[in-house]
Amino acid sequence: MQGFLDHIVLNIEHDETIIDFYTRILMLPAERLEAYRAGEVPFPSVRINQHTVVDLFPKKLWEKKQSAGKGFSNLNHFCLSLNKKDWEDLHGRLRDHKTAIREGPVQRWGARGSGTSIYFADPEGNVIEARFYEGSDHSEKCLLGT
């Protein structure tokens, strides 16, 4: 079987804080943000690339679903693969915004082999890995920083 990762859902408590982090610090383009703020759609998203979004579920969508819970214990982290310049720019923005690097830079194995990674958390504790593969031009362009 082959396919693409379509979306990840993050259950969030403080929507504007998280939206700010993903759009201003990670610089991922928002999807449906104005419609969400106008109450026309139940949640906003941020776009990673042409195939993948991160859906940001506000508390009202998950707080009453006891069986699903917040899900933090099930998701260890997710990884954004970048080119080296975008990775360096992100590392600088995280430093400028005093976002702690939990680990790295370290070498880690991933979908394209070994790459250089840093780990950090968003304001609600979701751990994100950002990595680059040496010599990779990333034909699947991540929209981070655009």
**143, part of any domain:** no
**142, part of any domain:** no
**13, part of any domain:** yes
Q: Is 131 exposed, middle or buried (0-12, 13-18, 19+ CB in 10 A)?
A: buried
Helix (H) or strand (E) holding 9: strand 7-11
Q: Tokens in use for 92? A: 């600088």
**137, part of any domain:** no
**29, part of any domain:** yes
- Confidence class of residue 68 from pLDDT cuts 50, 70 and 90? low
**86, part of any domain:** yes
**146, part of any domain:** no
Give the position of tokens 């990762």: 5
Q: What gap in Å lies between CA 98 and CA 79, rounded to an integer?
A: 20
Q: What gap in Å lies between CA 62 and CA 60, rounded to an integer?
A: 6
Structural domain that includes position 36: 7-132
Give the number of domains in the chain. 1
pLDDT at 121: 98
pLDDT at 64: 75
User: Residue 40, by phi and psi: left (phi above 0), alpha (psi -120 to 50) or beta?
Assistant: alpha
| Predicted confidence (pLDDT) at residue 73 exceeds the cutoff of 60 | no
- Confidence class of residue 75 from pLDDT cuts 50, 70 and 90? confident
Write the CB contacts of 124 (distance below 8 Å, at least 6 apart in sequence). Answer: 10, 12, 13, 14, 17, 18
pLDDT, one tens digit per residue, over 37-61 is 999 999 999 999 999 999 999 999 9
Whole-model pTM: value is: 0.84
Indicate which CATH number applies to the domain containing 103: 3.10.180.10
Chain center to CA of 54: 7
pLDDT at 139: 44
**127, part of any domain:** yes
